[in-house]
Chains A and B, each alone.
Chain A
Amino acid sequence: MRGWTIREISLALRQGHISPSELCQRCLSLIRKTKILNAYITVTEEQAVKQAEDAEKRLQRGYVPPFNATVVQRLLDQGAILMGKTNLDEFAMGCGSTDGIFGPVRNPWGYSKQYREQLAEDCAVDDSDWVVAGGSSGGSAVAVASMSCFASLGSDTGGSTRNPAAHCGIVGFKGSYGLLSRHGLIPLVNSMDVPGILTRCVDDVSTVFGLLAGHDPKDSTTVQDPFKPFELPDEIDVRNLCVGIPKEYHAPGLSCETLEIWTKGVNLFEDGGARVVEVSLPHTQYSNVCYHVLCTTEVSSNMARFDGLEYGHRSNVESSTEALYAATRHEGFNDVVRGRILAGNYFLLKENYDDYFVKAQKVRRLIANDFLKVFESGVDVLLTPTTLSDASSYMEFIKEDNRTRSAQEDIFTQGANLAGLPAIAVPAILSRRGLPLSLQFIGRAFHDKQLLTVAKWFEQQMKFPLLQLQTPLNNCSELLKSQSSHARF
């Protein structure tokens, strides 16, 4: 730490690698340890602590929501204890939890015995290159994976819960659209957003889901029918089950290992007596483009409220209201968010609306119909990979931009969002590198219980290994050291 320049430590503070209070405490502790040097006459500890706390509040950009989301409130009402609020990509736009104002989230598997041992065989351990957690709700996945809490909530618009769950070796569930209230969820794409549930096993998902699901008068898009909480059976029989394997999900970029575990999954179901059939979702190839148009249009609309007048960051530029808006939004949003807003506004222009937005909506309908047809043909659940491969290292990950990465990472997951279907990522096995691989199940709308039951059976068969942490994670100096290398990028 002594070797750091002010500029470097400022960056580390802004990116959230160390909090003002933490830094302050470390300095104070050094002051105490080096008392013998007699440098200080008076140590203004009290004032320093207070200033550090104020700085912390400033970094939080001044907005603390004055109300609880329905899903949070329902947990609190049941006596759940809130441990904290977790990190993510800015406005949930990303798939690596690398593009947030509080800095990137790191995957605990990168510090696991399983991973480190494999890595040591190939090359020396390089702390600057850690493993990406997946995203956008990476902080939520890491919190659960690192055992610091039992369950967490994420948001799932194109796979943002299932993706980090897959990379962190936990269960990530997105319920049928309309079962979980979105009141209090900061919207990305309202018509696709679903609060996601992250836990370490499928039974825990069903416990949390039972507490959260059901009509919310504050969200007009939740279904009115009463929801009955359920428990999953322990003895599960898959003999009457029909599992569909969508052939279009053999996507380019699918890693051999993922394909292997997918095949293994198929065999498992066949051995268990289930009927496994190949099915076709022919419009899958248009899913990325369709998602991109619909996502950016809603983003451009939803982000309009962040004008700096009512809350949040406000620029000092005051020459006119328009100038204030422009400066505030330029300063406040990162490149990814700004890029999506620009694209979305373009698609919504009068002359473009029919060519882009309306067409994308039609494609969305076709994609949803693909799923409907498959389910109508007698298929109960679809079995697919969750991601193309295991998690990338950070260095590898940032070789591609946010948009390309999102398109790659969401390829298997966004279909369920476009069609409003329930889907769950279940950890399957560790890759040869020692990182989690996961498979996804997609179910019929409002048949969430059936989906979870199938997922639980699969979980029982796989016996996914426990995370064995090797490196103590609270070693701040190490994190800071690793920061140095990438701060130079």
Chain B
Amino acid sequence: MMALCLSVRCVKALENRTWRCLTAFRRSRQSDAGRQDGRWERVVGLEVHAQLCSKSKLFSGSQVQFLAPPNSLVSFLDASLPGTLPVLNKHCVEGAVKTALAVNCTINKRSTFDRKHYFYADLPVGYQITQHRCPIAVSGNLAYNLCVGKRHVIPKFVRIKQIQLEQDSGKSFHDDVRTQTLIDLNRSGIGLIEIVMEPDMCCGNEAEAAVRELQLILRTLGTSHGNMSEGQLRVDANISVHRPGEPYGVRTEVKNINSARFLARAIDYEIQRQIEILENGGKILNETRAFDYKSGQTIFMRDKERKQDYRFMPEPNLPPLIIYDNETLPSNVNPHQVVNIDYIREQLPELPNVKRRRLVEKYGILVEHSFTLMNEDGLVQFFESVVEQTQASPKKVIGWVINDFVALLKQNNLRVNQSPIRPTDMSEILNLLENGCITSFSAKQVLTELWKNKGKTATQVVELKELGLIKDQKKLEQMCQCVIEDHPEEVSEIQKGNWKVINKLIGQVQKASRGRTSPTLVEATLEKKLFQRCNHRNED
């Protein structure tokens, strides 16, 4: 059930993406004109919280699992029992280092943990353990691509200020009827990384593109599932506007955004709201706002001026986190017990932007095709294995993969790894096509048949359903003869010298053969027949 929901969302996101790029482009040009270009600078910065993929929590042994019964994954530490102590999960540290390396951060070889205090019912211990003073990684950057229109991709990048390890809180459920708050501590203590970006962006589309790229990186690395709707990726946006040449304006923070699309909408709405207020002589207040996806507006949540003091303090129960590289690795430690930056760097998978560039260069496909391949989990591998096993050129393969194959996936709400069609099936079909055994029309039929009849090979399907190209000249001549006899009007048109009409006859032969004939061969045969017929008439 879960898998199904997930794939529906992916597909929708995919569809929306192209549409959105187009409309966004149009909209921004319109509004540019409308607001007298250049009168306002917009500044957008993001704080992204990503839940780390790991079997257990950041500081306790309890399991991490989505959708478990409430309060079933709570250790003594998570429930804040006195006397419990945090023990750092090495796997989470590796996840943070991996992510930090992927966005070109400098890893701090020594980082520390702090307590951030606030009272909230889903924070049982009264403080969150985070990295306030000395985070695990600093100063990186994230390269992303802004799609403008259908064929225009602008490379961009945003600086990353820092990445810090911290604990997630539990969840509160407010029962307004009985004025109760129910607490689920399953999420309490799950490892998060907070990625703080510099305010280098200027609109919702940029923020959205950056977050999507980050999402892809996290998934490629396997460090986070990164689903915004499931809260595995949470984005807060800091937004301000100012006149060119003047200092930054007062910023607002927008929270509670649960999809990348809403992020873009929330930011654009907030920019517009601030500009309108300022143009009407008003003032922007430093406040936290929430995005209401139903109305598409941001709404006041709380005042930040009366900001609470988090009373930060070093966490006394955790020694500094020491991370090594090949040079600093002491000889007397077990390499499995420490985190080694160089080792992790060697193990990094190919990152999305590198992979896209490689796909374009190696296979000669279009840039936007590389995006389509990357946006569907597993599609790149599928494409590459098909290319490997077929004589068809990659440029031909890409069309079959991103149009015909993806269409079948979408129709059936499946992911690539759930598809009944394997790369070998696809390459076999393309080989049959390439060798002239089937027509491209038949190839599509074979694909559909294979989707339905798992376990058969393409060749078997061709034989079984008689989809092979008709090569028997006699049979072909017979079919052509029939068509000629059934279409005297067209024949006389042709004989009057209108050769174009022959295409109609070709179509008829194709129809009669259920697409199993080669059009060139049919044309030649028809020509021959018509010519013979003509001569025959003349002889008469």
Contact = CB atoms under 8 A, between A and B. Distances in A.
B312 A309 contact: no
A69 B76 CA distance: 12
A334 interface: no
A305 B82 contact: yes
Given A220-B85, A220-B86, A348-B311, A307 B124 contact: yes
Contact of A304 (B76, B119, B318): B119
Interface in A35-67: 65-67
B312 A220 contact: no
B488 interface: no
A190 B125 contact: no
A182 to B, nearest CB: 7
B449 to A, nearest CB: 59
B313 A184 contact: no
B321 to A, nearest CB: 10
A408 interface: no
Contacts of A298: 313, 316
B42 interface: no
B79 A65 contact: no
Contacts of B319: 220-221
Contacts of B372: none
Interface in B48-107: 76, 79-88
Contacts of A311: 79, 81
A187 interface: yes
Contacts of B115: 301
- Majority secondary structure, B binding face: loop
Interface in B275-326: 309, 311-313, 316-319
A218 interface: yes
Contact of B80 (A217, A305, A322): A305
Contacts of A69: 83
B126 interface: yes
Contacts of B183: 309
Given A69-B83, A183-B83, A305 B124 contact: yes
Contacts of A345: 311
A221 B320 CA distance: 10
A304 B309 CA distance: 15
B85 A218 contact: yes
Given A220-B88, A305-B80, A190 B316 contact: yes
Contacts of B80: 305, 310
A221 B183 CA distance: 31
B88 A322 contact: no
Given A301-B127, A349-B309, A65 B82 contact: yes
A187 B317 CA distance: 10
B117 interface: yes
B85 A65 contact: no
Contacts of B125: 304-305
A185 B84 CA distance: 8
B417 interface: no
B126 A307 contact: yes
A300 B313 CA distance: 11
A183 B311 CA distance: 25
Interface string A208-221: 00000000011111
Contacts of B117: 301, 304, 348
A185 B85 CA distance: 9
A349 B121 contact: no
Interface string A394-420: 000000000000000000000000000
A115 interface: no
Given A191-B316, A309-B183, A311-B81, A220 B87 contact: yes
A322 B119 contact: yes
Interface string A297-317: 110110111110111000000
A353 B310 CA distance: 11
B181 interface: yes
Nearest to B126: A304
A186 to B, nearest CB: 4
A221 B127 contact: no
Contacts of B83: 65, 67, 69, 182-187
A190 to B, nearest CB: 4
B119 A350 contact: no
Given A301-B126, A307-B126, A345-B311, A65 B81 contact: yes
Contact of A301 (B119, B124, B313): B313
Contacts of A305: 80, 82, 124-126
A271 B470 CA distance: 118
A325 interface: yes
Most chain B Cβ neighbours within 10 Å, of A186, A219, A303, A305? A305
Interface string A169-209: 00000000000001111110111000000000000000000
Contacts of A357: 313
A348 B313 contact: yes
B312 A348 contact: yes
A306 B83 CA distance: 12
A321 interface: yes
B313 A307 contact: no
B316 A353 contact: no
Given A185-B83, A305-B126, A353 B317 contact: no
Interface string A317-357: 00001100100000000000000000001001110010001
A309 B309 CA distance: 23
Interface in B130-188: 181, 183
Contact of B317 (A221, A325, A349): A221
Contacts of A348: 117, 309, 311-313
Nearest to B61: A218
Contacts of B84: 183-184
Interface of B: 76, 79-88, 115, 117, 119, 121, 124-127, 181, 183, 309, 311-313, 316-319
18 contacts: A66-B81, A67-B76, A183-B84, A187-B317, A218-B85, A221-B319, A301-B117, A301-B126, A303-B126, A304-B117, A307-B126, A309-B183, A310-B124, A311-B81, A325-B119, A349-B309, A350-B311, A353-B312
- 9 residue pairs, one from A and one from B, having the closest CB atoms: A304-B126, A190-B316, A348-B311, A305-B80, A184-B83, A191-B316, A186-B82, A305-B125, A310-B124
Given A218-B85, A220-B87, 7 more contacts: A67-B76, A221-B85, A221-B318, A298-B313, A304-B117, A305-B124, A307-B126
